[in-house]
Amino acid sequence: MRLLFILICLCCLCCFCCTSKKNVINPAAVLALEKRVRPVHDTIGFTKYSWQLDSIYNRLGIKDSKNKMQWKAAISPHDDYKYAGRLYYESLKGINANTIILIGVAHRARNFSLQDKIIFGDFTHWQSPYGALKVSDLNAEIMAKFPKSSYLVHNEMQELEHSLEAIVPFLHRKNKNLQIIPILVPYINYETIDSISNALSEVVSKILKEKHLEYGKDVAVVISNDAVHYGNEEWSGDLAPFGVDNEGTKKARAFDMEIIEKCLVNEISLEKVKTFTEYTVKNTDYKEYKWVWCGRYSVPFGVSFANKLNLTLSNKPLKGTFLNYASSIDHELIKVEDLGMGTTAIATQKHWVGYASIKYE
């Protein structure tokens, strides 16, 4: 009887423990479910509230209209909305997929000694003027399948970087179901750009095939970039090899157009991507500018990745189409000061920035 009593007690204890375990909170599970939101960094040049961007649309005379375009990729500016607002809209109007792979600049990569690897984050959401924007579950899936030697998870870098948060409001405004996969590209030489973009295209293409997702319709790529930074005032050095008079400005703009026409439009190829890097970074030191596009890494990486993805999925290269080019000094600017916004830099003939708008199909 005594043995029977002990056995009954042990059974009851086991049942109690099993039942209790169901109600115990697993810290790891809580962490996995925790909402980690990437905050807005720039509240001067970009919009923090939905009514601000709505007002900018009104001032630009842009009417909301859905379209059936399915651009596979696009290059968009990321400068202050006062300077480049209209070009954001033009660059992104054909990007209508629900999931966008964002390829951005890592302006402060030097602060963290980041190089030779692309940078992911593990945020679950990004703060947007139109509410919390979900980071796609594909973000974690890509990292799980991607070579560990080719990427880093660095939330602090993603928090400080403005080149993607500039684009997010325009995409989120027209698609409240939007999800994003944010990737930053720091200092990387051409050979590494080629190898990592190839690896990323292989991983993403497999995921798209497994999930029956269509490139352009369900998933698209947006590449963040500002073109030439020109002038000799309020830059770190003299960035005006052609001078800062009308003729110098004209020559600088023409040189930007030469880069676009030779490297970024029509049928995309490895040779064009490599030529772009030869225009923009020094062959003796890939960390140094040759011609000052801040997208000197994001553009070749993004275009190469988007093109290889299309080659894998459709067996043909992407075709780039020039949409527009503008600068911070060549058009009437949008009034934003009464919206609680402003500019983060001056815009004069001695200090200006160029913007390229290109679509890929």
Q: What is the DSSP string of 59-82?
A: HHTPPP-------SEEEE--S-HH
Classify residue 15 as left (phi > 0), alpha (psi -120 to 50) or beta.
alpha
Does residue 18 form part of some domain? no
| Segment 125-146 mean pLDDT | 97
Read out DSSP for 239-264?
B-TT-SSHHHHHHHHHHHHHHHHHHT
Does residue 8 form part of some domain? no
CA–chain centroid gap for 142, Å, is: 16
pLDDT at 268 over 90: yes
Range with lowest mean pLDDT among 57-66, 114-123, 244-253, 313-322: 57-66
Q: What is the pLDDT of residue 111?
A: 93
CA distances from 340 to 160, 237, 289, 324 (A): 21, 31, 34, 28
Does residue 131 form part of some domain? yes
Question: What is the share, in percent, of the chain residues with pLDDT greater than 90?
Answer: 89
| Segment 8-29 mean pLDDT | 41
- At position 361, the amino acid (one-letter code) is E
Q: How far apart are CA 106 and CA 112, in angstroms?
A: 10
Indicate the number of domains in the chain.
Answer: 1
Q: The CATH number of the domain where 229 resides is what?
A: 3.40.830.10
| Segment 139-162 mean pLDDT | 97
Range with lowest mean pLDDT among 34-43, 127-136, 209-218: 34-43
CA dihedral sign, ordered 293, 297, 300, 301 = negative
Read out DSSP for 115-137?
BSSEEE---SEEEETTEEEEEPT
Does residue 295 form part of some domain? yes
Range with lowest mean pLDDT among 10-19, 120-129, 243-252, 281-290: 10-19
Q: What is the pLDDT of residue 64?
A: 75
| Nearest Cα residue to 79 out of 341, 254, 281 | 341
Does residue 7 form part of some domain? no
| CB half-sphere exposure, 343, CA atoms < 13 A | 14
**Helix or strand (DSSP H, E) at 357:** strand 351-360
pLDDT at 19 over 60: no
Q: What is the pLDDT of residue 310?
A: 98
Q: At what angle do helices 246-263 and 270-280 cross, to 10 degrees?
A: 150
**Residue 17: count of CB within 10 angstroms of its CB:** 10
Q: What is the pLDDT of residue 15?
A: 42
| pTM exceeds 0.85 | yes
Does residue 32 form part of some domain? no
Confidence of residue 33 (pLDDT cuts 50, 70, 90): low
- Where do the DSSP E strands lie in 202-301? 219-224, 229-231, 266-267, 281-282, 285-289
Residue-number span of the structural domain to which 343 is assigned: 37-360
- At position 269, the amino acid (one-letter code) is S
pLDDT at 29 over 60: no
Contact between 292 and 228 (Cβ < 8 Å): yes
Does residue 13 form part of some domain? no
Confidence of residue 34 (pLDDT cuts 50, 70, 90): confident
Range with lowest mean pLDDT among 16-30, 101-115, 150-164: 16-30
pLDDT at 101 over 80: yes
| Segment 309-334 mean pLDDT | 98
Range with lowest mean pLDDT among 4-13, 253-262, 352-361: 4-13
Does residue 10 form part of some domain? no
Mean per-residue pLDDT of the chain: 92
